[in-house]
Amino acid sequence: MVPRCETIGGGMRVVLAPCEAESVAVGVFVASGSRHESARTAGISHFIEHMLFKGTPSRKPVDIIRAIEGRGGNFNACTSEESTCYFVHLPREYLAEAVDILSDMYLNASFPEDEFLREREVVIEEIKMYADEPDQVAAENLQRALFPRHQIGAPIAGTEKSLRSMCPDDMKRYLRGHYLPSNTVIVVAGSFDPSAALATVSGKFRAAVRRRAASSFRGRGGSPLAGKCVAEVSAEKDVQQTQIALGYRTFGVSDPRKYAATVMDAVLGRGMSSRLFQEVREKRGLSYDIASRMQFFADCGVFSVTAGTDERKAPRALATIDAQLERICSRKVSAVELARVKEFLIGNFRMSHERVTSKMFFYGSTLLSFGRLVTPEEQVEGIRAVSAADVMAVANAIFVPENRSVSWVRPKQSAK
């Protein structure tokens, strides 16, 4: 069944992606993330994500969760640099209930003072939890080093200082300026009647058309690519391993080279047959776990490699990683390896689309990013069209010294 996109009141878009399933997933995607914040409001998008679960005039917090879990469903949300998503996955006969609850949260969140104060402490504990995870610290420090002059480099959850300076009125003001119909995509994926689902969504979200932006919601601080990267950052923690996060900042999601970059990423560090896994772990025993990641934003991107290793092995591990990056810049990927990696990516993508939640995330995130409906077939054909020359060319475009940063989290002297 072919998905379709409809526009309802105020420019809100609704993606209908029916398929054979016993369940249905509904997601509300809002173009509001950490890059849209200021230093003073850092973390407010993520904090609002938490607070939308804390009640409306007609529902207490526990009512929201029980209404979904009581039907065997799952309810969650997530915030990134450029978007926030609220989603429900439950048996197919409860679609109307899911839309009713999500629309109530989106339109009528009440931000009660007692819940605000309590949940602020929860988010601060979440920040402290991440600070205890060395790989998370290395990754956050890397992003700040790559984008030192832009909010896209800041931690998504904000800081304890920024959170303690907020009040419920700040959240309401921010929500009014960002949770707008033109910034919102609703996705319904799974087993449902498309016409009935569209009528249900349109009816429940009709009140959103009254919302208007006071100013553009686009990110603050100019281009994320302005200013130099910080070449190296280091932190010490009471850990046994050294964490390495090596990264390069690069182009955004609309760049036609994104497919070549995705294939390059898979060649280097996706899966146990990837070059980095084989060289760093299997051949040299320098790390238990190593992987790469290609991440795209609207106007920039990040290629990163992460690994944990003994402090004494860290220089060799980094040198081995760099050797693999140099190799992919100077020698074309063989036809056999290229074909294998493409099938790996396409197979993973196809299997993920057997899950209705994966379909939901795919259509919601791509529509927000591209402003149009992207089909799975387009993604597959984009991967299939990549040549060995394309991979080498994009590697040379990405692995430029001035766009590189290395983030370390090392054991404290007393912990060695």
Average pLDDT over residues 271-281: 97
Other C-beta atoms closer than 10 Å to the C-beta of 347 total 10
Using CA atoms, how far apart are residues 199 and 19, in angstroms rounded to an integer?
18
Using CA atoms, how far apart are residues 194 and 176, in angstroms rounded to an integer?
30
Among residues 37, 49, 82, 140, which one is catalytic? 49
For the domain bounded by 232-415, which CATH number is listed?
A: 3.30.830.10
Structure confidence at residue 207 (pLDDT): 82
Closest alpha carbon to 345 in 273, 401, 247, 394: 273
Q: What is the pLDDT of residues 230-272, one digit of tens each?
A: 999 999 999 999 999 999 999 999 999 999 999 999 999 999 9
- pLDDT of residue 371 exceeding 80: yes
Bridge partners (DSSP) of residue 28 are 86, 186
Whether the Cβ atoms of residue 361 and residue 88 lie closer than 8 Å to each other: no
Average pLDDT over residues 13-22: 96
Using CA atoms, how far apart are residues 383 and 378, in angstroms rounded to an integer?
9
Which is it for the CA torsion 340, 345, 346, 350, positive or negative? positive
Q: What is the pLDDT of residues 54-80, one digit of tens each?
A: 999 999 999 999 999 999 999 999 999
- pLDDT of residue 390 exceeding 50: yes
CB-based contacts of 201, cutoff 8 Å, min separation 6: 8, 14, 99, 103, 186, 188
Structure confidence at residue 10 (pLDDT): 86
Domain boundaries along the sequence of the chain? 4-210, 232-415
* Overall CATH class of domain 4-210: alpha beta
> In terms of pLDDT, which residue wins out, 215 or 393?
393
Q: Which of 197-211, 279-293, 375-389, 390-404 has the lowest mean pLDDT?
A: 197-211
- The first and second tokens of residue 114, run together, are 């007692």
Calculate what percentage of the chain has a pLDDT beyond 90. Answer: 92
Whether the Cβ atoms of residue 60 and residue 113 lie closer than 8 Å to each other: no
Q: Transcribe 356-370 into DSSP letters.
A: HHHHHHHHHHHHHHH
Helices (H), 58-131: 61-69, 95-108, 113-131
Same fold, 4-210 and 232-415: yes
- Kindly list the distances between the CA atom of residue 315 and the CA atoms of 231, 244, 277, 286, 381, in Å, as whole numbers in the listed order: 16, 10, 17, 10, 40
Structure confidence at residue 221 (pLDDT): 57
Known active-site residue 49? yes
pLDDT grade for 163, boundaries at 50, 70 and 90: very high
CB-based contacts of 234, cutoff 8 Å, min separation 6: 407, 408, 409, 410
Structure confidence at residue 21 (pLDDT): 96
- pLDDT of residue 36 exceeding 70: yes
Structure confidence at residue 215 (pLDDT): 42
At position 88, the amino acid (one-letter code) is V
Structure confidence at residue 211 (pLDDT): 64
Q: What is the pLDDT of residues 113-157, one digit of tens each?
A: 999 999 999 999 999 999 999 999 999 999 999 999 999 999 999
Structure confidence at residue 416 (pLDDT): 46
Structure confidence at residue 414 (pLDDT): 56
Other C-beta atoms closer than 10 Å to the C-beta of 57 total 8
